[in-house]
Structure 1
Amino acid sequence: MAPPPEPSDHAERLVFFTDAVVAIALTLLVLPLVDLVPEARRSGLGLGALLRENLGELGSFLLSFVVIFRFWWAHHQLFRHVSRLNRAVVGWNLLWMVSIVFMPVPTAIITAYSPSAGTVLLYVGTLVVSSGALTLLTLTVHRHPELSVGRSRETREDVLGGVTSLAALLLALVLGATFSEHVNYLALLLLLLTGTVERLVRRRWSRAAAARV
């Protein structure tokens, strides 16, 4: 017999801990940029030259910051429906936290090295792990209504959002790594299509529901 879900205060403590991990990851992202300033000052580099010579570092930072924020926001939205915990939720949340706190490492690598199949696999692969863990978290909460006692249920539309993002990242991983010389990280633009795909699927669901009536 499965153990009963943990009480709501445990869920809140997990959210607080997860938010702290995300804050640490964001701090680790910006630290290399902070270190550039005294180095540039010692070498007599002006502000304009500093910015021009480190556009890659700034771009990588902004990309990873937006990615982490997007994942955090999705996590935040998910846990509005969670009032209890079980082992699956804790396990998938742990994997998600590992992928988030690891993000500064592939960010540093894509800054230091030219795009290649290896760098794309490492960076986008980390995003796939994060998205996959979050999708499985969402699916777990959706399938176990006892985890949402006293709160609104996770809907299948919420699950759809996670699945479409994961599918887009998997496709971006394959395309970016296969055509690393020309496509590489541009494959992440596929994420912009997820909203359109979700709308098409929801429309199909609505038509199917209307047909059953």
Structure 2
Amino acid sequence: MVEYGDVLARGFLRTIELFLLAGVGSLVLGTLLATLRVSPVPALRAVGTGYVTLLRNTPLTLVFFFFVFAYPKLELLQFPFFTAAVIALTVYTSAFVCEVLRSGINTVPVGQAEAARSIGLGFAQSLTNVILPQAFRAVVPPMVSVLIALLKNTTVAAGFSVNEVGSVIPFLNEEGEPTINAFVWIAVGFLILVIPLTLIQRGFEKRWSVAR
């Protein structure tokens, strides 16, 4: 830890960057997909269902492989490995965010949507002003679990030339150092990162339970 602390610190900083960018992207895209899944338009529901079914049943490694190696072959748009990792994590995690949020939408009483329609609100207005705020409150624990899984999934990026904390192990192997100590410090680092997410989850639960 003393000799290679800077290497671990840089790796965790890159991991946090991956997590924050992919987390925001996943929440935005996942919310959009959940909107498609509950849309009254059959074609939009089919698009949302197809996306979620495909991504939830595809290994994350294959998603990374597509955006890092296969997509550049199309010669549409070139981007660095870090950007490809953010896109892969976002595309993959958004499918799980969508299903969590959809389950929250299903917990909102039907009478809420009917009351919104009765005062002249359209589908989009009812969803954004009435249904989604209640749905987000209902799914805080599973949503945080999805984000924690995303945080741990960032280590997959190490296999695709992204210098995050997962790349520390092969680096130490090349240096001839025992890697068991690195595994311990990485585990401790992830524990330190996960604890604040858990505290945030509990804080939101307590605050919103009082509000209800």
| TM tier relative to shorter chain | 0.3 to 0.5
TM-score normalised by length of structure 2 = 0.33
RCO higher in 1 or 2 (8 Å CA, sep ≥ 6)? 2
TM-score normalised by length of structure 1 = 0.33
